[in-house]
Structure 1
Amino acid sequence: MKLLALAAPARRWPVLLLAAAAVLALGACTAPAPSADDSSPADSSPADSASPASKISDLAYAEASPQERLDLYLPGSTARRAPLVIWIHGGGWRVGDKSSAATFPDPSASLRQPADCRDIVQVQVPDVAALNAKGYAVAAINYRLTRDPVTAVQDAKAAVRFLRANAARYHLDPDRFAAWGNSAGGYSAIMLALTAGRHTVFDDPALGNPGVSSAVQAVVDWFGAAELSDLPGKPDRAKDPGTYIASGRTLPPFLIAHGAADCVVLPQHSRDLHDSLTKAGAVATLTILPGAGHEDPAFMRTAEAPALAFLSRALGP
């Protein structure tokens, strides 16, 4: 599907847990900045005019760094506002981009794995054209690559707030947002769901739209890190997803997929996350792909179709 380039609002200076890709290369250009009051509830009014799928490149969702940009892929005009899928790339919080595959410039920057661990391979991002054809908008985000997962989640939350605050401008349904991420991006997707509506270290109001919700209504997590204390460096347990899972809280549905042969983020991460979520009363589905490693093409062959079906159930068409 050929996408048309729309202008990006020149509003602010802006701009996967390991070796991810975001192969979303399509054209771009600039348009007027969205107004601050474009956060009205979803309605059933038609779009201004019929149009094919389109892309707006490099929207600035915050001002702290030029990396805080996103590309917005919009479906053709529909009578209803579009549900939104927020795609978050991986890369160990140090590499990766919303529009190109991660590369490691020298051996010292490559991922260290046991000798018997399957090589990391590039995985494609979700099929944006297929999502657009089903009526979904897609926002592929960049975020600050500081090696700190907290900063990455702060940026993801800022991007969600920006998109929700400007939902009317882009004909998005602010009540139907899903987060989809792989590896480090999977971690951010998880944390968007677990920390919504509560003040945590992952919230930075200075990044903009502080009064707007950063909640998502569904999560697709591909081989995301769910136990940071299990990774090199032993980060603070306060950054672990499990710290924020508690009974009595309303959580969105989760679809979790992990490779059985993943030696970078062990599949036990996803098993433990799934168990914790279900014990807390959340709806969570776990799929372990036999023989699949980290960033394995098997995810595109066998896990994408179930993800699309999950989104249809969680958000509606």
Structure 2
Amino acid sequence: MKYLKLVFIVLMSISTVMSCASEPSDDDGLAPLNTAESYEELNISYGNDDEQVFDLYLPANRTTDTKTIVLVHGGGWTSGDKTEMNDFKNFIKDQMPSYAIVNINYRLADESNSPYPMQINDITRVINYLKNNEAHYTISNNLGFVGVSAGAHLSLLWSYGFDTENQVKMVCSIVGPTNLTDPAYLNNTNVVLQELLNTFGIDTSADFLEEISPYHRVTATSPPTILFYGGEDPLIPTTQGTAMRDKLESLNVTHQFTLYPNEGHGWTGLNLLDTTLKLKVFIETYL
């Protein structure tokens, strides 16, 4: 599957001319880190599985008001790695240096492990870990999510259905599935698309598909949402974006929607620049 690649060097060149999870162990009681200096730590464990790790990037001069952006990689729920979000991480560090960044891995689905609720539980564990260590890291509990493809689906689903403490202040979906009951999804003959749907297991009842669909979990109190989709995406029907846009509109949820008519499941060049500039403004406005 082709994923959105955010090439930082190219982007900068262009811009110059244009829960049910158990509580994870934590570091309660540790003294706060030096807030005058930036801090980075890779592969912080939040569970017993090797895939339950995240990378943490804290800015210098942070305070208890410092917000955190959570990055969630794609991969059809069965593959992928947090390193695929490193270009997003680099962009945020360079262009929005006052934010903390958490780049997560989560357990990948296979024949023995369904992605739901496993991956939602993993996100909950990460968020709980951050909350338990707010004083140590000197960060607030205000969060934003940026997800790509399956990671966008997970970001929307957690933000709409599992953020019981209203910590999420904005969420971004880049080519993310939103409604698994969409006829354009169910009737699509694309083999890869059907495999993505089938990954969720044998339960294809309407109730279950609605439970795992952000479109059916969004409410009038859901956080501001920004959406990006490609009109020629072979994996994600355009209606996954337009219907989500219309649902947000009907609920009066603050949102922004961009469709690139000639793009697929990812893009580069000027459209990528457009995406990052819009995302930057949205993050700075709502997070």
Aligned equivalents of 1:285, 1:222: Cα separation in 2: 12
| Distance (whole Å) between structure 1 residues aligned to residue 155 and residue 26 of structure 2 | 27
Q: 1:214 to 1:142 in 2, by over 3 A?
A: farther
**Is 1:159 matched up with 2:126?**
yes
Q: What residue in structure 1 maps to residue 278 of structure 2?
A: 306
The letter of the residue matching 1:243 is H
Q: In the alignment, is residue 223 of structure 1 matched against residue 175 of structure 2? A: yes
Q: What letter corresponds to residue 94 of structure 2 in structure 1?
A: A
Q: What pairs with 1:180-191 in structure 2 (closer than 5 Å)?
A: 180-191=146-157
Q: Does 1:93 align with 2:77?
A: yes
Unaligned stretches of 5+ residues in structure 1: 1-16, 25-31, 39-45, 102-122, 199-212
User: CA offsets, 1:254-284, max 9 Å, x none?
Assistant: 0111112211112210111111122122111
Q: Deviations over 1:77-100 (max 9, x none)?
A: 234531100000001011111124
TM-score (norm 2): 0.75
Which residue matches 1:82? 66
**Match of 2:235, SS?**
coil
Greater mean alpha carbon deviation, residues 180-189 or residues 214-223? 214-223
Q: Please tell me the root mean square deviation across aligned C-alpha atoms, in Å.
A: 3.0
Could you give the per-residue CA deviations for residues 198-243 of structure 1, whole angstroms, max 9, x where no partner exists? 6xxxxxxxxxxxxxx4741210111100122424146441212222
What is the match of residue 53 of structure 2? 69
Task: Name the SS of the counterpart of 1:224 in structure 2.
Answer: coil
Aligned residues of 1:192 and 1:216 also touching (Cα < 8 A) = no
For 1:216 and 1:36, how far apart are their aligned partners in 2?
Answer: 26
| Structure 1 residue 302 displacement after superposition | 1.6
* Alignment correspondent of 1:264: 235
Secondary structure of 1:91's aligned partner: coil
CA displacement 1:107-129 (0-9 Å, x = unmatched): xxxxxxxxxxxxxxxx9435142
Q: Residues 22 and 262 (structure 1 numbering): CA distance in 2 closer, same or farther, change over 3 Å? A: same
2:18 matched residue in structure 1: none
Which residue in 1 is equivalent to 2:135?
Answer: 168
Q: Return closer, same or farther for 1:99/1:79 CA change in 2, 3 Å cut-off.
A: same
Q: Give the corresponding residue for 1:204.
A: none
Q: Does 1:142 align with 2:132?
A: no
> 1:296 is matched with which residue: 260, 263, 267?
267
d(CA) in 2 for partners of 1:35 and 1:256?
36
* Greater helix proportion: 2
Deviation, structure 1 residue 19:
3.8
Counterpart check, 1:274 vs 2:245: yes
Q: Which string of whole-angstrom CA distances, capped at 9 and with x for unpartnered residues, describes residues 5-57 of structure 1?
A: xxxxxxxxxxxx86466999xxxxxxx9611799xxxxxxx974522x33111
Residue-pair matches, total: 244
The question of whether the paired residues in 2 share the 8 Å contact of 1:20 and 1:96 is answered with no
Whether the 8 Å CA contact 1:18–1:92 is kept in 2: the answer is: no
CA distance in 1, matches of 2:146, 2:104: 11
1:115-126 paired onto structure 2 within 5 Å? 124-126=87-89
**1:21-100 alignment, distance < 5 Å:** 34-35=27-28, 48-51=34-37, 53-63=38-48, 65-100=49-84
SS across alignment from 2:267: coil
Tell me if the contact between 1:160 and 1:214 (Cα under 8 Å) persists in the aligned partners.
Answer: no
Correspondence 1:239 to 2:212:
yes
Counterpart contact for 1:18–1:183, Cα < 8 Å: no
Give 1:132 deviation, angstroms: 5.1
Q: Which residue is 2:94 aligned to?
A: 130
The answer (yes or no) to whether the contact 1:75–1:136 under 8 Å persists in 2 is: yes
For the residue of structure 2 that corresponds to 1:99, the secondary structure is: helix
* Change over 3 Å in CA distance of 1:164–1:124 after alignment to 2: same
Task: For 2:256 and 2:96, locate their aligned partners in 1 and report how far apart those are by CA, in whole Å.
Answer: 24
Q: Percent identity?
A: 22
20 and 257 in structure 1: CA distance in 2 versus 1, 3 angstrom threshold = closer
CA distance in structure 2 between the partners assigned to 1:88 and 1:76 by the alignment: 23
* Residue identity opposite 2:268 in structure 1: P
Is the Cα–Cα contact under 8 Å of residues 89 and 185 in structure 1 kept in the other structure? yes
Corresponding position of 2:257:
286
| Unpaired runs of at least 5, structure 2 | 9-24, 186-192, 199-203
1:190 is paired with a residue of what secondary structure? helix
